[in-house]
Amino acid sequence: LWVGAILSAFVDNIPFVATMIPLLQALGELAGMPMESLWWALSLGACLGGNGTLIGASANVIVAGIAERYGSHITFVEYLKIGFPLMLLSVVVSTAYLYLVFWR
């Protein structure tokens, strides 16, 4: 979850997930882990991580372009100051959720 979130903040989440699916499948089979928990961790990490930076998700880039068109410039650092802490908070909540559902 955490690795996925951090990486997805800097790499668009769709190619990230497409790359991670076969790796996660192999990891789950090797370790004998329940796959459902790994899929949830990947999807939550990629989805929430994309909110951390301006380039983490396509929607962020589109909204920044629309804001620019209407005269409001959003810089990478401005977005990072708000988006990254919120992303971290979301990942903490998701970690607690996954722990309660799969590993208690």
Domain assignments of the chain as residue spans, ordered by start: 2-102
How far is Cα 90 from Cα 18, in angstroms, rounded to an integer? 22
| pLDDT score, position 97 | 95
Q: Which of 52, 33, 53, 50 is nearest to 98 (CA)?
A: 33
Location of structure tokens 């690795």: 3
Tens of pLDDT, residues 40-60? 999 999 999 999 999 998 899
Mean pLDDT of 22-51: 91
Tens of pLDDT, residues 62-96? 999 999 999 999 999 999 999 999 999 999 999 99
Mean pLDDT of 3-9: 92
52 within 8 A of 83, measured Cβ to Cβ:
yes
pTM for this entry: 0.85
